[in-house]
Amino acid sequence: GNSDTGGGGGTKDDGKITMGFSQVGAESGWRTANTTSIKESAAAAGVELKFDDAQQKQENQIKAIRNYIQQKVDVIAFSPVVESGWDTVLKEAKDAKIPVILTDRSVDSADKTLYKTFLGSDFVKEGKLAGEWLVEQKKSATGTVNIVELQGNTGAAPANDRKKGFGEAIAANPNLKIIASQPGDFTRAGGKQVMEQFLKANPKIDVLFAHNDDMGLGAIEAITAAGKVPGKDITIITVDAVKDGMQALADGKFNFIAECSPLLGPQLMDLAKKVHAGEEVPPRIETEETTFTTEQAKEALPNRKY
Ligand code: GYE
């Protein structure tokens, strides 16, 4: 070889990284955009991606993770459908010396050494921003404001946290009352079905807080079918800001959206490379987000990528 330039010893690892990724499902526009982001970023970063769709079932995710351990992938990444019940399988990955990256949703494991980092949004903050907007809107309301809430799937971090953040924010005004709160599983069908029940059981609904756009879009159908005008008779607040949600907001059918970005792929691939190379990474990486009113949605919509 060439003369020693003093940089000897550094072996360049140009072997391809293999990532096993367990996705929650395909329940929403957010999820579809997230899957696309992960697949495209893996290809662009030269990461070989093994991808599994768990159809919103924890048992499927555990099975997929065990498969990835058996296949000796370099890195495991996953978006946990619920927060609890991961310690055993995460311990198995740790024992097999395969680093785990949490993306989008977190786990409630007390042992933080079971994963390298968590990349995703602050869901409590999203709920809080949604609630704070409502507090401001209703600051001169004299009577009770009846709110119904469509939650995400039971036990999911974004369902637990958005509920918490929203509840804390609206506590600022005792006129704001949640009169019904049920899971709609983050799907349009779920949102529609549960909203139909809410409308039947409650003659006066002033506000809907849906934990994502898709449930809000399903609810619009139920509200219209009940002869009410979404965005006027019932104020609608959602989370995500995917294209269909932003369109509904621009059209005045939604009134406010707290953004949640699904474009986690590029950062995830970057983290996978670092973790694989044995580099330290921060334990928590938070996604940057904003909020949208109707006017802001009209402005942002033409350049929206998802
Ligand atoms: O808000 C919802 C999706 O985990 C942040 O999951 C994600 C949530 C998102 O089904 O649309």
Over residues 45-63, the pLDDT tens digits come to 999 999 999 999 999 999 9
CA of 26 to the centre of ligand 1 (A): 10
Q: What are phi and psi of 56, to 5 degrees?
A: 60, 30
Q: What are phi and psi of 214, to 5 degrees?
A: -60, -45
State how far the alpha carbon of 247 is from the alpha carbons of 213, 251, 296, 306, in Å: 10, 6, 11, 11
Mutate to test the pocket of ligand 1, among 24, 27, 30, 289 (most ligand atoms within 8 A of CB): 30
Is residue 187 pLDDT above 80, yes or no? yes
pLDDT the model gives residue 14: 55
Contacts of 4 (CB under 8 A, 6+ apart): none
Neighbours of 200 (CB within 10 A): 10
Mean pLDDT value across residues 176-185: 98
CA of 101 to the centre of ligand 1 (A): 18
Mean pLDDT value across residues 283-290: 96
Which residues does ligand 1 sit against, CB inside 6 Å? Answer: 27-28, 30-31, 104-105, 158, 186, 212, 214, 239-240, 260
Give the closest residue (by CA) to ligand 1 atom 8. 158
Mutate to test the pocket of ligand 1, among 212, 239, 259, 289 (most ligand atoms within 8 A of CB): 212
Mean pLDDT value across residues 293-301: 97
pLDDT the model gives residue 5: 37
pTM: predicted TM-score of the whole model, two decimal places:
0.94
Is residue 285 pLDDT above 90, yes or no? yes
Question: 127-142 pLDDT, tens per residue?
Answer: 999 999 999 999 999 9
CA of 157 to the centre of ligand 1 (A): 9
Q: Which two tokens stand for residue 299?
A: 């402005």
Least confident of 10-24, 58-72, 168-182, 265-279: 10-24
Question: 25-52 pLDDT, tens per residue?
Answer: 999 999 999 999 999 999 999 999 999 9
* CA-239 nearest atom, ligand 1: 1
Asked if 264 and 38 count as a contact pair (C-beta separation under 8 A), the reply is yes
* CA-156 nearest atom, ligand 1: 4
Short-list 101, 99, 51, CA closest to 80? 101
pLDDT the model gives residue 305: 85
Q: What average pLDDT is seen over the chain?
A: 95
Question: 220-242 pLDDT, tens per residue?
Answer: 999 999 999 999 999 999 999 99
- CA 53 distance to own-chain centroid: 15
Which amino acid belongs to residue 143?
G
Provide the residue count of the chain: 306
Contacts of 96 (CB under 8 A, 6+ apart): 69, 72
CA of 143 to the centre of ligand 1 (A): 33
Question: 58-112 pLDDT, tens per residue?
Answer: 999 999 999 999 999 999 999 999 999 999 999 999 999 999 999 999 999 999 9
pLDDT the model gives residue 3: 37
CA of 31 to the centre of ligand 1 (A): 6
CA of 1 to the centre of ligand 1 (A): 53
pLDDT the model gives residue 12: 44
Q: What share of the chain is helix, strand, coil (3-state, %, to 5)?
A: 40, 20, 40
Asked if 64 and 23 count as a contact pair (C-beta separation under 8 A), the reply is no
Alpha helices in the chain, H assignment, sequence order = 29-45, 58-70, 87-95, 123-137, 157-170, 188-201, 213-225, 243-250, 265-276, 294-300
User: How much of the chain exceeds pLDDT 70, in percent?
Assistant: 95
User: Strand 256-259's sheet: what is its strand order?
Assistant: 176-183, 145-151, 207-210, 235-240, 256-259, 291-292
